[in-house]
Amino acid sequence: MAEQWLGRAACLVGGEWRTPDGPAIPVVDPYTEQPIGETAEAGPGLTAEAVTAAEAARPEWERTSPADRADLLDRLADLLAARSGELAALITREMGMPATLSAASQGDLPPRVLRAFATATRAFPWTEKIDGAQLHRVPLGVVGAITPWNMPAHQIIAKVGAALAAGNTVVLKPSEATPFDANLIAAAALEAGFGPGVLSVVQGTGPVTGEALVADPRVAHVSFTGSVPAGQAVAALAAGHTASTTLELGGKSAAVLLPDVDLARAVPAAVKSGLVNSGQACNATTRIVVPRSALTDVEALVIDALDAMVAGDPRDPATTFGPLASARQRDRVRHLLDTAGDDRAVTPPLQLLPSHGFFVGPRVYFGLDARHPLVRQEVFGPVLVVQPYTDEADAAAVANDSDFGLSAEVWSADPDRAESFARTLRVGQVKINGVRTRERPGVPFGGRKASGYGRELGAEGIADLTAVQAVLR
């Protein structure tokens, strides 16, 4: 049975849907390898129109009270909750995320994030007195939001929700690989009552449409999620007109298993966390740091965890391991594996991968040198490394020996011990004993070092998209 053709993804400019008329950019289902729709470049012209609409809508939106903004965010949350199944299924088609994960992270999570923003907006200290001055948290202006393909709906809501809560207008450029979920969200925003130009959407690639958005001098702030080189380019381009930036640039996160941990519980959980979304998650625990004395037991548990995985059609609720999001991503991961070499001990790859789809079987490496590319680089695929340590000081040194600093996990039989150890890690977020980021939608998320700067989610995410005006009397 042929799948529904989704047509060409549209742009939303000033409350009106506009279809970009440039050359088609196919949107391909990574399991069937067949096009399901297409998009095209908005380009500099249509992007400039979207910024003009955002600038025109800005004064009225800035005057909208925080309470009214919060009410609209709650209204949008209700509408997305009603369409959560449709949104999750759409993203499974666009980028191959297994249906169960998509339902949790792309269907259920976005409404919860919006409600957390609404709650934070009502309680936010928009004004306060310090040393005889009145401090006002004010909107920045027009915010450009550039979102990735790996967690598309969640990333859109994390950026757009915070910006709207803070009183900014937004021009969103979603990934060209996942354009249709952005249209669904934007349509819901119109239905919720956000006025024309408060949220606009421009479709296209980063080097064309994304660059046009970042370079527009009327854009006051750019919130970007993507690779380190792309983020550095965004920051440099935005700096050309002194726009501020929020950058979330990926990670090489460690799951540290302290000596008192129950390995039978922690190892499978760490493997699952590292291979979530086939490893296409910025906070995936792709480094598992374990006691050297436990390596034999850890290897056996890792093999068992891989054997329990089910590869297949991501629409099947039984599937736990789906394809990579595109042929390009599959080829990139394969190339990295080929050039890095595989002469070290490797657990067997997942058996019985489908004969079609952009699959790469998961691999877990033991015994790689700390300078090995698979230890240092973000693969963004199903590749984990196991790193041994001798004592807790060594464990912290191993975990911190990374150019990235986005997140980490710590596992221990004693949560207080785990929290004490967490304070030694130079990362933006640490999760204890299997807590998931999506379980805490009001907790700030963001990195250090090469993982970028700024925070998303909750009150901190709103604060990041405001400026402080001090009025002295």
Q: What is the pLDDT of residues 39-49, one digit of tens each?
A: 999 999 999 99
Predicted local distance difference test score (pLDDT) of residue 345 = 52
pLDDT at 467: 98
Low-confidence ranges of the chain (pLDDT < 70): 1-2, 342-351
Q: What is the pLDDT of residue 1?
A: 43
Q: What is the pLDDT of residue 435?
A: 92
Alpha carbon separation from 431 to 82, 259, 270, 416, 428 (Å, rounded): 30, 17, 11, 12, 10
The ranges assigned to domains in the chain are: 11-249+451-472, 254-440
Taking Cα atoms as reference points, which of 366, 60, 312 lies closest to residue 197?
60
pTM for this model (two decimals): 0.96
Cβ neighbourhood burial of 65 (10 Å; 0-12, 13-18, 19+)? exposed
Q: What pLDDT is recorded for position 347?
A: 60
Residue 351 pLDDT: 59
Tens-digit pLDDT profile for residues 151-193: 999 999 999 999 999 999 999 999 999 999 999 999 999 999 9
- Given this chain, do its domains 11-249+451-472 and 254-440 carry the same CATH topology? no
Q: Which strand (E) or helix (H) includes residue 456?
A: none
Instruction: State pLDDT tens for residues 195-217.
Output: 999 999 999 999 999 999 999 99
Encoded amino acid at 268, one letter: P
Topology of 254-440 in CATH?
Answer: Aldehyde Dehydrogenase; Chain A, domain 2 (3.40.309)
CATH code: domain 11-249+451-472 is 3.40.605.10
Looking at the annotation, which residues are catalytic?
A: 248
